[in-house]
Structure formats: structure tokens, C-alpha cells
Structure 1
Amino acid sequence: MTHLLGVDRGGAALVLAPGVYAPQSDTFLLADALGREPLRPGAEVLDVGTGTGALALTAARRGARVTAVDSSWRAVAATRLNAVLARRRVRVLHGDLLDPAMGRRFDLIVCNPPYVPAPHARPPRRGAAVAWDAGHDGRAVLDRICDGAAELLNPSGALLMVHSALSGVGATLERLQGAGLDAAVVERRLVPFGPVLRSRRKWLERRGLIAPGEDKEELVIIRADRA
């Protein structure tokens, strides 16, 4: 199943699986934010949509007790393998977004969800695009995370989430605040369009999501605290 090698933010090798989202600019931006979190030893951390496990391992290296979730069995296998290779303990669960962690509470939730606006209204059920396509407005998964995260947070716990400004930063903040969380943008970064956005440039222009000739995407890190 696995045959590629990548690296996480710290430069450690990761085994990648075909069809599983490899660490990219959004992963690294979120990993940097995670690195600044004041995690106590033994803090409970949930990584939603773990992919190769890069963020889960970042938290585990800091002494956190990490649970990682993904809907892809390939991602689950890749994360389990990467945890073994890194000699870190990570509990890896298969399932849909927050569902496998229901009934538990965490000090920190990290999430790099699918958020790319797509010509198809419904997100794909299979294939590599599951990791990025999220409906016409890019919010098919974001809204579910916003609505459900508070229930899984300990008092004073927090959600760290990355997504594109194309998906509606204001909508995310309003949704999180409506769920009882104190939410704010804590970092922004411009990155060049990747292959997916380059292939959709004309469609994005027609939708009014980008200006003609625009070739950079703004990524945001949103932090939402439970009071």
C-alpha cells in the first residue's frame, strides 16, 4: 500500500499512502500553530482527518495523549505505521470526522478538513479528492466541525483549524461562536495556488471567489476556545 516518503514539519520522515493527503502548506501552518500551544504533559489531543498522521505525531512528540481519526482506511494504516516508525503512541480510529470520539473530552482538537470549493455540490465519497473537495462553498465539512467541536472539548479546551479564505472565514467564526466558542483568526498566510486551484481558476473566477489572474490563496488558522 505504501511506497512514498514525505516529511513532517520537523523534518521527520513519513510514509505516504497513495490517495492519502500528503503534508502541504496548510499542514505545516497548522503544525506551527500546534507547536505554539502550551500543552501540558498528558494533554488529550484529537487530530480530525489525520491523513498521514503528521499533526498527530507533532502532538505526540510533545508528550500529549493523541487520538487520530480518519474516514480512509489507507490513512488509518499510514498513521499507524508512521506512529510505529516514530516510536510514538497514537490511538488511530476509523470513522467519520468527530463521530469516533463522541463521549470523550479533549484539551485540544486540531483539524485540517476538506475545504476547497468544488464544481460538484456533494463532496466525493471516494478517491483522493475526498481530502480536499467540500461542495460549492467549501463548507460541507467545515460546518460539521464547527457545530460539533464544543461538545468534545474540556473546559478551557480549544480547537485549532486551518482552511482557505475562499471557504468563508466570517462564516466559520460565526458558526463557532454560535456553538458557544470564543473564536478568532490567529494567523494568515498567502500561498501559491496548488494544482487543484489552478485547474479550477476559471470556475472560481465565474463564482466571484477570486479575481481574474489571481494566483495566491490565503490560508487562515482559527482558534476557538471553550470558556
Structure 2
Amino acid sequence: MLLLRPPGVYAPQDDTWLLRQALRDAALARGARVLDLCTGTGVLAMAALQLGADEAVALDASPRAVLAARCNAWLHRLPLTVRRGDLADAVAEARGGRGFDVVLANPPYVPSPERELPRRGAAMCWDGGPDGRAVLDRLCACAPELLAPGGTLLMVHSELCGTRATLELLRAEGLKSSVVARTTIPFGPVLHSRAAWLEERGLITPGQRTEELVVIRADRP
């Protein structure tokens, strides 16, 4: 799929494609209402429309990402609604309607030496705080508000920020959750640059230069 991607917008890569495959495997019901959080180029929201979703809303905090997603939807002639916003805006969007049948999320999850999340620049796409969970924990907590009854959350992140923690938080919110896809990949440039710090924190073993990506599915009864 041809995609326009201005500088500073997250380039679709292994985590994107793993989540897209999980969406295909989930057998999206035709007519579903879909929310794509941290949409970037909009590729996952567009995939949902191509798979039969009736409505897809794409949110991103980056103005450049919003522009990219709108341009890509226009390029592919898909009726994608793109808005600038964060998790709080997503909750407000769900409360204003009936909730979403499917929520897709590829949030920032890379552990970062900086305690504060970046508010601009490319690092917004990946920095998730010292344990990588600054956004993940908030997403787990509000997942039931985002989902319509019977709705499904599909979220991708790295094992480095704690797969079990995500599963336990989602289950504590009353959602049935499990890992539905995995893949192991070499470190990219960001993790390579932080390898020594990750080793010091005990987040990776000495010499480790691969990570496992997981897609977690959570269903609201």
C-alpha cells in the first residue's frame, strides 16, 4: 500500500504489520465501528475499512500524523475520520456514541531514560517512560470505556515493558485477555542506542539485542 509519511511520523514496521495480521485473524464483523489509537500514517484504520468496517476513527496527538492519515485516506479513497487527540479524547469519543466494536492500539511503549513523555518530535511515537508503561497502563484502565459490549481491543507492544502486567491489568478491568500473536525481531536503532541503559535497568540480559513483540487481545463481555 502506497503511504505518504512526512518526517516525524511513525513509519509502519514490524509492530504495525503484526497488529494488522491480528486484525485480519480476528475476523472483523462487517459494519463494525473501529477506533485506531496513535494512528500514525493511518494504515491500520484503513486496513479496518478495507476489511469491512463501516466506520473508522483515527486519533493521533501529532499534527503531522493527522495530516498524513488524512492524505493517505484521500489517496486510497477511504472514508476515514481523522482527528488530533489523545487517550482522553478517545474516551470522550466513546462516551459520545455507543463505544467501539474494535479498538486498535500501537502506543508508545519503548522504555526511555526520560521520565516525562515527549510532547513533540519523533520520540512521541515510541517513548513510553522508564518502564515503557506510561501510556499502556492508562490504556488498560480505560479500555472498558472505549469498547462497546462484546467489543475487542487489539494492542501491540514489546515484551520489554511487561506482557504479564498488561494481561493482569486488563483482566482486573473485567476483560478477557490473551496474547494472540508473537514475533521476535532484532533491535532497531532506538533500542540499540539504549542497550547499555536497558542492561543496567535489568530490562534485558547482557548482550541481548532482540525483542519479542506481542499482540494482546482483550474482549469486553
TM range (shorter): over 0.9
CA distance in 2, matches of 1:62, 1:84: 17
1:7 equivalent in structure 2: none
- Percentage of pairs with the same residue: 57
CA distance in 2, matches of 1:188, 1:29: 8
1:132 equivalent in structure 2: 126
2:5 equivalent in structure 1: 16
CA distance in 2, matches of 1:83, 1:97: 22
Q: Residues 98 and 39 (structure 1 numbering): CA distance in 2 closer, same or farther, change over 3 Å?
A: farther
Structure 1 residue 102: deviation in Å? 3.5
Dislocated runs of 4+, deviation >2 Å? none
1:72-87 matches, within 5 Å, as: 72-87=62-77
Q: 1:36 aligns with which of 25, 44, 55?
A: 25
1:199 equivalent in structure 2: 193
Q: Which residue type is aligned with residue 23 of structure 1?
A: P
1:146-185 matches, within 5 Å, as: 146-185=140-179
Structure 1 residue 38: deviation in Å? 1.7
2:56 equivalent in structure 1: 66
Cα displacement string for residues 17-56 of structure 1 (whole angstroms, at most 9, x for unaligned residues) = 1101010110010011011122222210100000000101
Q: Retained in 2: the 8 A contact 1:71–1:97?
A: no
- Corresponding residue pairs, total: 216
Q: Which residue type is aligned with residue 45 of structure 1?
A: V
Name the SS of the counterpart of 1:93 in structure 2.
Answer: strand
Asked if residue 214 in structure 1 is aligned to residue 208 in structure 2, the reply is: yes
CA distance in 1, matches of 2:121, 2:101: 32
Larger RCO: Structure 1 or Structure 2 (Cα < 8 Å, ≥ 6 residues apart)? 2
CA distance in 2, matches of 1:60, 1:161: 18
Q: Which residue type is aligned with residue 69 of structure 1?
A: L
Asked if residue 189 in structure 1 is aligned to residue 183 in structure 2, the reply is: yes
Structure 1 residue 91: deviation in Å? 0.6
- Larger mean CA deviation between 129-138 and 95-104 belongs to 95-104
CA distance in 2, matches of 1:94, 1:42: 24
Q: Retained in 2: the 8 A contact 1:98–1:148?
A: no
List runs of 5+ in structure 1 lacking aligned partners: 1-11
Cα displacement string for residues 176-220 of structure 1 (whole angstroms, at most 9, x for unaligned residues) = 111111111111110010000000000000001111111111101
Q: Retained in 2: the 8 A contact 1:70–1:97?
A: no
CA distance in 2, matches of 1:71, 1:192: 28
- Larger mean CA deviation between 105-114 and 182-191 belongs to 182-191
Asked if residue 95 in structure 1 is aligned to residue 85 in structure 2, the reply is: yes
Structure 1 residue 63: deviation in Å? 2.1
Cα displacement string for residues 100-158 of structure 1 (whole angstroms, at most 9, x for unaligned residues) = 42413111000000000000111111110000001100000001110111112111111
Q: Retained in 2: the 8 A contact 1:57–1:90?
A: yes
Structure 1 residue 98: deviation in Å? 4.6
Name the SS of the counterpart of 2:87 in structure 1.
Answer: coil
2:37 equivalent in structure 1: 48
Q: Retained in 1: the 8 A contact 2:94–2:100?
A: no
CA distance in 2, matches of 1:69, 1:193: 27
Cα displacement string for residues 55-89 of structure 1 (whole angstroms, at most 9, x for unaligned residues) = 01110111211010001111111000000101111
What is the TM-score normalised by the length of structure 1? 0.93
* Structure with the larger strand share: 1
* Structure with the larger helix share: 2
Q: Which residue type is aligned with residue 11 of structure 2?
A: A
